[in-house]
Structure 1
């Protein structure tokens, strides 16, 4: 499984935030646990924007994260 930094380096057009990567991984059921310091267990503060999601998911598939 590639690291978040490897995924960020692979995306050519922008630098994705780690919270966007975590949001996409959670949407695909790849998260193993929830952070202990999370403010609201039921929601994300910074979910991945729709205009970045397609490119980020494609990059994550190419590096083997999805």
Structure 2
């Protein structure tokens, strides 16, 4: 499984767009990938920043590139 930095780097290299780690976590949760509990997360039941719809497909494409889905 790819790290968040690898996913961020791949999206930046291929599309020139920076993505946030919380967006990656949001998409991982949506597609059913396992998440770890972040030590700095304030509320484990709420997500502060959801992934914008226009970035969703880029992150999913990165997941496919790294064969995570």
TM-score after normalising by structure 1: 0.80
Aligned CA distance change for structure 1 residues 45 and 61 (closer, same or farther; 3 Å): same
More helix per residue: 2
Aligned alpha-carbon RMSD (Å): 1.6
Unaligned regions of 5+ residues in structure 2, if any?
A: none
How many residues end up aligned between the 2 structures?
A: 66
Are 2:22 and 2:49, in contact at CA under 8 Å, matched by a contact in 1?
yes
TM-score after normalising by structure 2: 0.77
